[in-house]
Amino acid sequence: MDLVQACLKTDGRLAVNTLRKMISNAKPSAIWAILMHAASWQEERSYDTAHSTIMLYAVHRMIEDLGANPNLLEEHPRPLMELRVSRDLKTLLQNALIERLAYHLADVDHWQPENGPKYNTERSIESMGNAVQNLALSVRKKSIVGAHKSAITLASKGEPIRLRRAIATMAAEKPDGLGHGFIMPLSLLIELPDAVFTRPHVASLWHLAEYLVRKVPSKKVFSLDSKISKYAQRTVVSNHKSIFINAVVNYGTLGHNAIFAHRIAEAGRIGFVERNVIDWLLEKLTSNIGALSEPDTMDVPALIESESGTDWENQPNHLRLPSSAPLREWLADNTDVWALMMDREAKSFEEYLTGSKKLDWNVIRATQYAMATINGRYQDAHSMTFTQSVWGLVDHGLISEDLAALQVSRMLRNSLKM
């Protein structure tokens, strides 16, 4: 509980120091469970959605993308794409990512003890099928206690497939104009601690239940099969590439269209929801984007020619993480792309993207991970989640590397300029 208490006291430095001690003494699964426990105490109501679990999901995926790390990852992480970059860069960046996450979890609005996660809800003795129906009924009747109880029941045995399927389907019904209603539950479900980590597990499910009763509509859109026992058949979304390209080009408020698009692709890949639900979500995403442009008008040269990225008057704030200074020094000494990305003029990097030189997308991607990690403000989650989501869409084969690099650069230059 030391890390959780450091976060609740909003002591970022203590949170990071506590985490650094844990890394050498705890299993990776325990570390991520405790981080999820801390994330479950975020109350943030400014956007009607707490972002800590979304941030944790993004950081976990970025660390996995950088490859094996026995201190932070299970033995065989299986990302869609492992980045081929220097081992020194991988280690420095992975350390900076986990440190940034700890600072973020401390530097947000937290629930007061009387209003925060509850740990004394007992698992009911109902059958799994009844638990699915009672979960849905409790959510629609706005009962946190009932939803929490049924969720604990569904998550108590091995792989909680029924829980993931039921919640993902309900969350898809009304994702809202920013996609939060689907982004947050899906992120939390993927990061849900195993039941063996009792308090983190129960706290995460409380956080999820509290959110669902506020976001899921009372009138159902999709029926739930109480007997579901396996994931749905994967939904291939490659025939909708135009929507995903538009979501990245017209990424919307703080990048939400692109983040929403990525979670839809992930839900289809894993099989959290049926094909008809994916189609419904793509309709919602299209509505959020607005009028769609033809893909051939959105290649990188055309985008650069039509509009320039944001120039900085001053470079963004440098975050003071234990690993940020050595990471920044390594990038400055070992890759030219870091200086181009951090140049005050946006054209420096954008002209580099359209030059004749063959580009190393692994280095560019890792460097953009670093750009989002060690600059800006501790409480900002969107720069990190957007960066991970856009490059994640590359891994799905839905957008090109040059489009990802351009749009991440443009979003970060806007997000980090303050």
Average pLDDT, the chain: 94
Count of other CB atoms within 10 angstroms of residue 276: 11
pLDDT over 80 (residue 162): yes
The amino acid that residue 197 corresponds to is F
Query: Rounded to an integer, what is the distance from CA 236 to the centroid of its chain?
Result: 21
pLDDT of res. 132: 93
Kindly give, in sequence order, each residue whose CB lies less than 8 Å from that of residue 179, ignoring residues fewer than 6 positions away. Answer: 256, 257, 259, 260, 263, 284, 285, 288
Residue 79 has pLDDT above 80, yes or no: no
* Tens of pLDDT, residues 40-63: 999 987 778 999 999 999 999 999
Query: Residue 45 has which token pair?
Result: 């109501």
Q: Is the pLDDT of residue 248 over 70?
A: yes
Q: What is the band of 77 on the pLDDT scale with cuts at 50, 70, 90?
A: low
Where is 244: in which H helix or E strand?
helix 241-249
| Rounded Cα–Cα distance for residues 16 and 245 (Å) | 37
Distance, in Å, from the CA atom of 210 to the CA atom of 146, rounded to the nearest integer, reads 11
pLDDT tens string 332-370: 999 999 999 999 999 999 999 998 789 999 999 999 999
Task: Give 289's contacts (C-beta < 8 A, 6+ positions apart).
Answer: 243, 246, 247, 250, 252, 257
Contact between residue 169 and residue 135 where contact means Cβ atoms under 8 Å apart: no
- The mean pLDDT value for 155-166 works out to 89
Q: What percent of the chain is predicted at pLDDT more than 70?
A: 98
Which pLDDT score, from 0 to 100, does residue 186 have?
98
Cβ neighbours of residue 389 closer than 8 Å, sequence gap 6 or more: 58, 255, 258, 259, 261, 262, 263
